[in-house]
Amino acid sequence: MGIESCTDHNMQRSCVTILAFGAAAIATIAWAGHELPVYPSYYPHEIKLSTVAPDQAPQALKDGKIQAYIGPGLKFSGTPSIDIQAVESLGSFVTVRSNPRSPRAVEEGQACDVAGAVMHALATEDDMVLHPYPVTPFHGDYLYHADLAAAAKVRFAAAALSIDDLKIKASGDLRQRHPRWSTSDNDWDAEIEEVDAGALMSDAAFVVDGLITPPWVRTGWFQAERLLRDSLDDADRKQRVESLLAQLKTGDFTGLADRINLERGLVTALSSGCRKVVAGYTVRREYANVEYTVGIENIGYDALAGLHSPMFIRTVKLKDFPWNGWLALGIASSPDSAWNPIGGMTDPFGRMMGFALNDPPLLPSACDAGWMPNRISDLPSSHGQ
């Protein structure tokens, strides 16, 4: 395997070409004119990963210079052609934090009124889904929480305050669209933040012996803990959260029903207050070229991380090749981490290159919050299954 680093001065991008060569002796019967019916993996023998600016990526996709673009922010001048398809995944969580020093949010009930007023204002945002519960339909364990999520919507259905009566602190796109939401320092009633869902997961994950750990990093209850634990100001709630976390992480439960009840109890304890609440989420859209013959035929992606996942690299298949081929990918960010055994390849570019270089035994499951075998396995069957 070789790695070629290069720089395209015209597009001002950094790129890495990953070449994979392998040879294996297989003793089997081969019939002329027929291919093997099952391939263990659609793994391209060359992967070119390039940093491409979002304003340059649409044309690169149309021209077939890249087959997919990893990252949000792509904007097309018109409606994309039928050959440019979008892949949707969880983009970001939108949280609302009330200021304990604000006279409008001194009591818990007042904080709930402030959160409700902000949610009603956010409901008009085109790119946001109002969902006042930290486990979303993109999470594999959402069905365990669907009734609690519905109850949370009812809880914040009525607003006792108007957003015009509040001083709002926001940043990024929200601040640009709402100039009044620019209060700074300590003079604010509520703060609106967007937390990238993919970064929330990747920041908590690490690799041990080729396995992505901890095993619960993709669950909704774990992400709820990372979002809301810092807002706990009640000793009893803190103790309950700590106890439930310890049981879930050590496997201190008797079966599936017991585990689900622990997960529901944890998220309920985390989201029962109003000092910090999840108001909703945004949807990330990444794009791929599916044209014949320069495009992609098969795309596997993570509901939380989108195309920035080992699942994509291990399932992608080019249309003009029965197995491998030359895959060109664009990514929004340039390499900026240490890229050594101590500092690690922790930037998005480095993690994506790591997905291509590594051969993990397990991949994120496309159907739930767990994991699935990377390749075909001869698993022993049990009686009756």
Q: The CATH number of the domain where 131 resides is what? A: 3.10.105
Residue 216 lies in a domain: yes
pLDDT at 308 over 70: yes
308 and 262, same structural domain?
Answer: no
Residue 27 lies in a domain: no
Residue 55 lies in a domain: yes
Q: What is the structure's pLDDT at 376?
A: 59
302 and 211, same structural domain?
Answer: no
174 and 103, same structural domain?
Answer: yes
141 and 261, same structural domain?
Answer: yes
Mark which of 263, 282, 301 sits at the end of a domain. 282
> Which band of pLDDT confidence, cut at 50, 70 and 90, is reported for residue 31?
very low
- Count the residues in the chain: 385
- Give the domain extent around 156: 90-282
Q: Mean pLDDT of all residues in the chain?
A: 84
277 and 294, same structural domain?
Answer: no
Tens digit of each residue's pLDDT (9 = 90 or more) over 52-62: 999 999 999 99
Residue 382 lies in a domain: no
Tens digit of each residue's pLDDT (9 = 90 or more) over 131-175: 999 999 999 999 999 999 999 999 998 878 889 889 999 988 888
Residue 240 lies in a domain: yes
Number of folded domains that form the chain: 2
Closest CA to 302 of 213, 214, 368: 368
Structure token pair of residue 200 = 């929330």
Q: What is the structure's pLDDT at 13?
A: 43
95 and 79, same structural domain?
Answer: no
369 and 268, same structural domain?
Answer: no
pTM of the shown model: 0.84
Residue 31 lies in a domain: no
Mark which of 256, 282, 308 sits at the end of a domain. 282
254 and 343, same structural domain?
Answer: no
How many other C-beta atoms lie within 10 A of the C-beta of residue 242? 13
- Distance from C-alpha of 9 to C-alpha of 116, rounded to nearest angstrom: 50
**Is the torsion defined by CA of 54, 55, 58, 64 positive or negative?**
negative
219 and 298, same structural domain?
Answer: no
- Distance from C-alpha of 5 to C-alpha of 307, rounded to nearest angstrom: 22
Residue 35 lies in a domain: no
Residue 29 lies in a domain: no
Tens digit of each residue's pLDDT (9 = 90 or more) over 50-102: 999 999 999 999 999 999 999 888 888 888 899 999 999 999 999 999 999 99
106 and 73, same structural domain?
Answer: no
On the 0-12 / 13-18 / 19+ scale of CB atoms within 10 A, 215 is middle
267 and 122, same structural domain?
Answer: yes
Mark which of 249, 282, 315 sits at the end of a domain. 282
